[in-house]
A and B are shown apart, each in its own frame.
Chain A
Amino acid sequence: MDTLNFLLENLDQLVALTLEHLMLVSIAVGLAIVTGVPIGIAITQNQRAADIVLYIASVIITIPSIALFGLMIPVLSLIGQGIGYLPAIIAVLLYSQLPIIRNTYTAINNVDPALREAARGIGMTPLQRLRMVEIPLAVPIIMAGVRTAVVMNIGVMAIAAYIGAGGLGTYIQRGISQTDPRQLIIGAMAVSVLAIAADYGLLWVQKKFTPKGMKVAG
């Protein structure tokens, strides 16, 4: 009951923090798409580069977020951004690389060799092949990678409250430090609900972006 009351009294704040949380994740994952997709495409050209890049991205994802924030504080302090939005966004950007790069790489590599040969044989340049055939066919799998990145990083972003990035983690952090179960529960629930909602929302987007001819088959 207490929790519910607290929720109703602080609804405005909850909404504001949710939006802030969502915005931070969106910016970070947005940047991750802009960087990860081209990297994923580029490494299809070179097996060795692909191995190295995927290895690095895998290593990054194993670093605990709290440690990553700690590592960034001295570095980013040099430009006066040791805590706050910037390290939070950088952390999420880094964590998002693996699912996005790996899915892009896999999707492009898995385009049916017969289709690739057909595209070459009818006289498409490599760029036309990417634009007209390979990327459209890869979109569903790339979007699946984006979904993984978003859901995972909604959780990571909650921890970023400890370095003052704001977002829903603020409730969790306060709930722990003030031993206030109301805030702890609301924060945790809100993060979970947001993750689930984002997953479904992106699933819808993924279906929208899937070329129509690839859906009918089922």
Chain B
Amino acid sequence: MIKLDNLTKIFDTSEGPVTAADHISMEVPSGEICVLLGPSGCGKTTTLKMINRIIPATSGTVFINGEDTSAMDTVDLRRSIGYVIQQIGLFPNMTIEENISVVPRLLGWQPERYKARASELLDMVALDPSTFLKRYPNELSGGQQQRIWVIRALAADPPVMLMDEPFGAIDPINREVIQDEFLKMQAELNKTILFVSHDIDEAVKMADKIAIFRAGKLEQYASPDTILAHPANEFVAGFVGSDRTLKRLQLVRAGQVMGARPTFVQPQQSLSEALVIMERNEHRSITLVNSQHEPIGIISRDVAWNHQGLCGEHYEGLHGIAQQHDDLRTVVAQMFTADSSWLPVVDDQGRLVGDITQRGITHHLGATYRTQG
């Protein structure tokens, strides 16, 4: 748990004092990722860096797991916090092993212990220790360096991590991959993480909570869905964008919105049976499943109306298929591509478990506005 209590930073500049962070108070529960978000110069990075005293606070207190850090020695405090900065902060004169184990070495671990830890961490990000331990940072690609520098921050297993735009310097494709890897890691490690970003999409993807800053002030601190659905003021609304409702699509999985009792036919059923089911449900088409209950095609009402015979003889290919854990953005993109108003939803084994419709999606997104009046 990280708690900031009236944290304030006033810089003395030649043009007089500038308040970079103005009485910031917030609390990040253990195991959550909190993204500090805002335009440049809004105080998000200053706030982050006051926690490990890279920037000394003018006033206010930081509590970590209930302990007032102002009583702690700066060096000890920093060693107990994982720190990942914007630029690649690997030391070029050290091997990957030395880089990863730098904090454990500062803490005086025995060599066997920190070496084992370095291998373990490399395994965790799917980099082969026998290949990478003895290499130097400049022999690695940008994406690999990024992974190393994230695991370096994890080396001494700190409960708290501070990350300053950690994925800002990576190309968009690699960034997605590393964000996904990081979330997977976090699901196991449950660190309490403060994460600075200026990218609303990254924040929506990574955050349990988002803190939006402007001109040194905390404007809103809430879950991504609340921020997107109910921005506290004009500034937040403007910052998260006029397409904020679309961004909420990322926060919802297909499985949460799908109709769990999908209609379907099997190949040996007749087209007239299919027509009956469609008419009863007012559907324009229906999913055809094989004996493993996997969707293999669809039958449209027109076809069923105009033809005789079995479903297995008159189906057309699937327009698309949604995985249960796909987010709605992916699902909607598929619908738009296929010009289709619904998609069958399958589970991890590929079996039909539901269907998802555009109506169902708009209804789900609209729910929060209706309850709020």
Chain A residues packing against B (C-beta within 8 Å): 112, 114-115, 117-125, 128, 132-133, 136-137, 211-214, 216-217
Contacts and interface: CB of A to CB of B under 8 A. Distances in A.
A213 B54 contact: no
Nearest to A213: B136
A120 B95 CA distance: 19
Contact of B138 (A120, A137, A217): A217
Contact of B92 (A119, A122, A132, A137): A137
Given A123-B103, A213-B139, 14 more contacts: A118-B85, A121-B54, A122-B79, A123-B75, A123-B78, A123-B106, A124-B75, A124-B106, A128-B106, A132-B94, A132-B102, A211-B93, A214-B138, A216-B136
Given A211-B93, A212-B136, A216-B139, A114 B85 contact: yes
A214 B93 contact: yes
A26 B87 CA distance: 41
A80 B79 CA distance: 57
Nearest to B152: A122
B229 interface: no
B93 A122 contact: no
B167 to A, nearest CB: 15
Given A114-B89, A115-B89, A211-B92, A122 B83 contact: yes
B94 A213 contact: yes
A123 B85 contact: no
B76 interface: yes
Contact of B95 (A122, A136, A137, A213): A213
Contacts of B52: 121
Interface residues of B, number: 30
B203 to A, nearest CB: 22
Interface of B: 52, 54, 75-80, 83, 85-95, 102-103, 106, 136-139, 152-153, 162
Nearest to A121: B83
Given A121-B52, A122-B106, A128-B106, A133 B85 contact: no
Given A118-B85, A123-B78, A214 B92 contact: yes
A123 B79 contact: yes
B89 to A, nearest CB: 3
Contacts of A118: 83, 85, 89-91
Contacts of B93: 133, 136-137, 211-214
B334 to A, nearest CB: 41
B88 A114 contact: yes
Contacts of A132: 91, 94, 102
A122 B102 contact: yes
The 4 closest A-B pairs by CB, nearest first: A213-B136, A118-B89, A211-B93, A123-B78
A8 B8 CA distance: 80
Nearest to A139: B93
Given A216-B138, A216-B139, A120 B85 contact: no
Nearest to A124: B106
A187 B171 CA distance: 61
A160 to B, nearest CB: 38
A28 B115 CA distance: 43
15 contacts: A114-B86, A114-B87, A118-B83, A118-B90, A121-B162, A122-B78, A122-B106, A123-B76, A123-B79, A133-B93, A136-B93, A211-B93, A212-B93, A213-B92, A213-B94
Contacts of A120: 54, 78
Contacts of A214: 92-93, 136, 138
A210 to B, nearest CB: 9
A119 B137 CA distance: 16
Contacts of A217: 92, 138
Contacts of B88: 114
A213 B93 CA distance: 5
Contacts of A137: 91-93
Contacts of A123: 75-80, 103, 106
B91 A133 contact: yes
Contacts of A136: 93
B54 to A, nearest CB: 6
Contacts of A133: 91, 93
A89 B102 CA distance: 42
Given A137-B93, A213-B95, A121 B136 contact: no
A117 B54 CA distance: 8
A19 to B, nearest CB: 35
A212 to B, nearest CB: 6
A121 B95 CA distance: 19
B214 to A, nearest CB: 25
B49 to A, nearest CB: 8
Contacts of A128: 106
Contacts of B106: 122-124, 128
A213 B148 CA distance: 15
B10 to A, nearest CB: 21
Contacts of B86: 114
